[in-house]
Amino acid sequence: MKHFLVTNLALILFLAGSSLNNLSAQQPSASTVANLIRFESSGCRGNCAQYKFTVRQDGTLEFVGIRQVEKKGTHTVRLNSEEYAHLIKEVRKVDLWQYPTVLPATKTDPNVHTFTVFEADKSHTVTGSADIPAPILALETLLQDIAESHDIVVRKGHVSPDLKGQAIVRFAADVNARDFCSQFTDLKVRPISHVSEDNTWIIGYNPSEVTEQQFIGLLKDMNTVISVEPNKQVQTARN
């Protein structure tokens, strides 16, 4: 009788273990869920942020912070339905498949940006360091905005705290905001965020290097700038 009970108990434990193993195998892990899009910033010799985004088809966003970022390591958040739907719409609109694997660059920029888009069992990678088309830059900004709405700060590592001056600038349609700003390295001018599809950006600058009036006047005289005005929201926050 004792032998019978021991044998049955061993059988029950074996079956229970098998069931748990099967159940575990049926649960998809993060690594088995198909990817939607991935973006990687290589960083640079200066203060550029080095990090990686991966958005998966189950609506999760994985951020891996490497250097010059506020949050290092791996952090995963789940996008809400509106964020995910908007991202899918923008990914399809940008259509990374139409671009070459390597974007030709006319300027030297060590900060390499790499996009990989996934569809079924296929993927396409687009890499560039300068002269990146405005639609791709806008998609990069959207990913940053979504991440920061979930408390993953990706801009802090490569935005100097001296960039307290900000202007809202509308560029001509064919102007690349990053390339435009690269000509003002002494003033630490850089694009902060993409505002609208008419190529309007918030541009940051160092007010200790140039006054607001001087910066606005400088941009107004450029034929690639359609309009420029101070970012009043920043001024209100400081006051």
Q: How do residues 17-71 score in pLDDT, each as one tens digit?
A: 443 344 333 434 445 678 899 999 887 665 677 899 999 999 999 999 988 777 7
Query: Would you place residue 15 in the very low, low, confident or very high pLDDT band (cuts 50, 70, 90)?
Result: very low
Instruction: Give the pLDDT of residue 76.
Output: 92
- Per cent of the chain over pLDDT 70 is 74
DSSP code of residue 42: E
pLDDT at position 10, please? 47
Q: For the segment 99-150, what is each residue's pLDDT rounded down to a tens digit?
A: 999 988 766 656 788 999 999 889 999 998 877 888 898 888 888 888 878 8
Q: Which fold has domain 161-238?
A: Alpha-Beta Plaits (3.30.70)
Residue range(s) in the chain whose domain bears CATH number 3.30.70: 161-238
Confidence (pLDDT) at 32? 60
- Residue 68 to residue 188: CA distance in whole angstroms: 17
H helix runs in the chain, sequence order: 2-26, 81-94, 134-149, 177-182, 212-220, 232-238
Nearest to 152 by CA among 27, 55, 235: 55
Indicate whether this model's pTM tops 0.85. no
For CATH 3.30.1560.10, the residue range(s) in the chain are 30-157
Q: Mean of the pLDDT values across residues 174-192? A: 77
Contact (Cβ atoms closer than 8 angstroms) between residue 49 and residue 157: yes
Share in percent of the chain as helix, strand, coil (round to 5): 35, 30, 35
Domain range 30-157, CATH class: alpha beta
> Is 227:169 a contact under the CB 8 Å cutoff?
yes
Range from 30-44, 46-60, 84-98, 153-167 carrying the lowest mean pLDDT: 153-167
Higher pLDDT, 178 or 98: 98
